Structure 1
């Protein structure tokens, strides 16, 4: 219900901005079309939320309606946020025009206000392009990680990473199965799932069945993200436990490690939990320190340590504990980037791609799925990482 109220606020806010910046749209037949489309988009969100119909398996005829609702909602948010500065400028310009002495030219300010009238068109265009791009499916990204002093037995060791799948209204278990099949086809040695697997716990069984399709030599190791905690932790834990009881090659790591042997070389994979015990930085850091102290304990001096962390900023702790490579997600790469630079790069210290601290490396995936199909310049990805010795 909270999401519907936020959505209603966005729709009303965009309507009020349009009414002042582009009055012609709120008159005559255009007004009727605008309100009709707004109601259609809101109903497309409301019916599944209240009745469950179309929430899990959307009937094919309703898929365009769902995508339209996403496009409309993102465009409405853009109109409301981007239109506010133009609205303030228009109100200020009108006030100055009334107070201006005769003969003063305010034409330039008027041109800026008129430019704001093009903003709704840009918002709709950008929203449409982003939704189309976000709905095209994942790409397979090859990444080579060069590690100093890597044992010869691990030179060429391949890891397939999926993360932030968000099985739910827009991502199906079949989509996840396609991602697992892509890693299988690549012949990686180990597959990892670095959190935010599922949003709709009613699809746990089919989701776990998709993970169990792994054919990697060392199976699949998984960790939890924030969405597992939010959407139904007990159901998700139960799903992983059911896989373990059936002997499926999938193991969940929660502040613990798993040792595998490859070519006679021990590899210790550490998986840490998401710090959900508070929002403050102090509490988060305390939780991370506890996770690091717990998950990294034990092991042998010659172990090559790989860390799985949903939040990429755990990298500092992982590097201090000796992890040679940390794999993370969570950020979705901001979902919008231009020329490879995330638009919202300020939101996270480690947003997308490769990072290095001394001899420790971090790779932050842009995510395999999404909870909202909108991406520009950051396509969903299945990552294939190859370790190389230098």
Structure 2
């Protein structure tokens, strides 16, 4: 309910901004259309929250309504954020003129009026572009990882990564199957899924069937993300267990290791649990670091020094623990790359130490995917991706 109140505040703030800076919108039929669209958008969020219908799974006929609600909400937020400074300048100028009327600067006033009129158009355009960017499907991204001292047997070894799929309101199991098909078509040696697979546990069976359709030589290895823990951990674990009973080429790693052999070279794949898994309230930096350390100690035990170590972690900040314990490559997700970037630079890059792309610490490398799906279909400059990583000797 708290989120709905915040959303209502955003809508009302945007309305007041428009009322002041774009007064024509509150006249005649335009006013009725504005209020009607605002009401439709709010209802698209309110009804699922009250009834549960469409909360984690959107029926196909309602998808356009949900996409409209996302676009309207983002546009309202932009109108509020961009318009409030303009509104403040307008009110300050009006009060100043009332107290001591200065000479009227028509050029400055004209610029303010034009900025106020352009702002809603800019907000709607940015929102529409972002929603389109989040709804048009994934791209296949080729990444070459050059590793010093790479065993000769692993030269050209290919890994397909999907992450942050979020099967649910906007992402279907068919979309996931398309991502797996893309990795199949690329002929990767190993497929990995680095967490946040599903939001709607009612679609677990179809989701697991999509994972099981992989044809990689070494199958698929998966780890858990925060959304599996929050949306229905028992159902997700049951889905993975059902695949194991059928000998499907999919295995879930929870603070454990899977050893593969490729052309005579052992590959030790370490999969770690999400660091806040035990309690949804345990979100502090201290608790997160403690749980990452516990996962590292549990999952990196043993092993042969000649093994090539690959680490799978949903949270990218596990990289430091993996690198300290000999992981040559760590694959992660979780951040969605911020979902907005300009000139390749994430707008919200300050939110995570490792936000998007490649990082390196000595001879250890990290790749953070921008995510294969999303829980909110809004992306600018960070398209959903299926990542194909090729190992090369440096």
Q: Same fold (TM over 0.5)?
A: yes
The equivalent of 1:45 in structure 2 is 45
The equivalent of 1:380 in structure 2 is: 384
In structure 2, the residue matched to 1:92 is 92
Distance 1:34 1:104, change over 3 A: closer
Is the contact between residue 148 and residue 359 of structure 1 (CA under 8 Å) also seen in structure 2?
yes
| 1:105 to partner: Cα distance | 4.0
TM superposition shift of 1:48: 3.6
Find the partner of 2:303 among 280, 286, 299.
299
Given the superposition, is the C-alpha separation of residues 254 and 121 from structure 1 closer, same or farther in structure 2, using an over 3 Å criterion?
A: same
How far apart, in 2, do the equivalents of 1:56 and 1:295 lie?
32
Q: In 2, distance between residues paired with 1:282 and 1:372?
A: 29
Question: Counterparts of 1:194 and 1:71 in 2: how far apart (Å)?
Answer: 28
State whether structure 2 residue 320 is matched by structure 1 residue 311.
Answer: no
**Does 2:334 correspond to 1:330?**
yes
Contiguous gaps of at least 5 residues in structure 2: none
Partner of 2:207: 207
Matched-pair contact (CA < 8 Å) for 2:339–2:381:
yes
Aligned to 1:320: 324
Counterpart position of 1:152: 152
The answer to whether the 8 Å contact 1:144/1:387 transfers is yes
3-state SS of paired residue (1:134): helix
1:58: how far off? 4.4
Matched with 1:223 is 223
> What residue number does 1:74 align with?
74
Match of 2:355 among 348, 351, 356: 351
Q: How far, CA to CA, are the matches of 1:104 and 1:58 in structure 2?
A: 54
Counterpart Cα distance in 2 of 1:198 and 1:377 = 24
Give the whole-Å Cα distance in 1 for the aligned partners of 2:56 and 2:313. 28
Task: Give the corresponding residue for 2:259.
Answer: 259
Q: Tell me the equivalent position of 1:26.
A: 26
Task: Give ranges in structure 1 of 5+ residues lacking alignment.
Answer: none
How big is the alpha-carbon RMSD for the aligned residues of Structure 1 and Structure 2? Answer: 1.8
Superposed structure 1 runs of 4+ greater than 6 Å apart: none
CA distance in 2, matches of 1:312, 1:382: 17
Distance in 2 separating the partners of 1:349 and 1:386: 24
Matches within 5 A, 1:94-109: 94-103=94-103, 105=105, 108=108
Contact 2:58 2:168 in 1 (8 A): no
- Give the distance between the partners of 2:58 and 2:201, measured in 1 at CA: 16
How far, CA to CA, are the matches of 1:155 and 1:81 in structure 2? 50
